[in-house]
Structure 1
């Protein structure tokens, strides 16, 4: 089979074969999907998409990032800079705790004008936080918010890192905006967010505001909230007494 740009031409039959594998994965038949993928990698060892799909079958559908990593590496050897392979290698590295390597991959993706900017900024921010590179993480949460303005979860993440940087007033504003955004979306009040804002207000010396948040948090508790949250809120109220 002839090659184009260092890659083998795409065999038409592969499209349907991979579609069948994906159907197996989505129906929960992981063992059968993995068996078929192994056969495909033996038959088409230089098809980048096949190598990538093998990695996805192991890493995403099989929750085995360590086993998936070599397949992403093989794909990148055949197609250096392949965006999907590089993204999933970065995600696997992060899941394995190899955050510095993950950040390097995310940086390379950004330099190549990766189209999924929201995913890149979110995941790089998470790795940067683990590495205690909080100023860079704050930058990425801000960039993620530029992609999805007003996202309550993103606002909470930026608030957390801003608190670590000592930017308490900005962190309070982010949590306030997060609570408002959730309310606009019809979501119930998040007791954890109220607790976190109360903690920040207490650190700022706003005792009345902190007390109001802790009391509102207790009133907002619902089934499924983290164990111990109610006790934490009560203890914090007692500390303010």
Structure 2
């Protein structure tokens, strides 16, 4: 039987595909790709096999341009294969083709893709790269509806809100993110971001407190550029 261009699955292919995955996870990328291509040559209309070639190239091999034709082959056979359209959109984004990626993610969303959170996140990133910050903010908000209180998502929405001039709302996002870290190590990057916003809004005392707290929270392993930024922020906050 066939459905949406997909042929019935031959059970004998299951083990070879598991071997492809074992090879990839074991760091044997070249062997994994060779086996995946061999399976695709033998079964050129098996959607799952073609998808695995694309994933091996695009995700495990870091070759999104080479992965795209394989995803296109899948969509030619099964236009409604939402997961493949999602993988294709990721590849487009990695290639800097963000307008096409946004279109793809929108199609994935319309198809009811089960991973709504990641679709909103990835589309927001591409929208930001295009400078479409109002739309990006909407997607970060939708992502937060899927994962309320997520500190990283709040930080991303704060960045989008800052870009559109909603600095008070951005500061509130960062404050909410920091409040969620009461029982864990405070993120000095969040403190720096809020300090910059406060300084820009004329709250010098608040900015100084954030930069001081960020320096106190800085740990080995945090990026040195952040340490420099916190120190510079403190100098800026001390200037008359």
TM-score, normalised to structure 1's length? 0.95
What is the CA–CA distance in structure 2 between the aligned matches of 1:139 and 1:165, rounded to whole Å?
12
1:55, CA displacement in angstroms? 0.3
Corresponding residue for residue 169 of structure 1: 168
User: 1:197-216 to 2 correspondence within 5 Å?
Assistant: 197-216=194-213
User: 1:52-67 to 2 correspondence within 5 Å?
Assistant: 52-67=51-66
Corresponding residue for residue 71 of structure 1: 70
Corresponding residue for residue 114 of structure 1: 113
1:3, CA displacement in angstroms? 3.6
Contact 2:149–2:180 under 8 Å retained in 1: yes
List runs of 5+ in structure 2 lacking aligned partners. Answer: none
User: 1:19-168 to 2 correspondence within 5 Å?
Assistant: 19-168=18-167
What is the CA–CA distance in structure 2 between the aligned matches of 1:45 and 1:88, rounded to whole Å?
19
Q: How many residues align?
A: 238
What is the CA–CA distance in structure 2 between the aligned matches of 1:134 and 1:146, rounded to whole Å?
18
Q: 1:240 to 1:17 in 2, by over 3 A?
A: same
1:6, CA displacement in angstroms? 2.9
Corresponding residue for residue 230 of structure 1: 227
Q: Matched residue of 1:183: which SS?
A: coil
1:4, CA displacement in angstroms? 4.1
Contact 2:4–2:79 under 8 Å retained in 1: no
What is the CA–CA distance in structure 1 between the aligned matches of 2:182 and 2:46, rounded to whole Å?
48
Corresponding residue for residue 192 of structure 2: 195
Deviations 1:18-47 (A, max 9, x none): 111111111111111111011001000001
Q: Matched residue of 2:220: which SS?
A: coil
TM-score, normalised to structure 2's length? 0.96
Q: Matched residue of 2:186: which SS?
A: coil
1:146, CA displacement in angstroms? 0.4
Q: What do you get for the CA RMSD once the two structures are aligned? A: 1.2
Q: 1:233 to 1:36 in 2, by over 3 A?
A: same
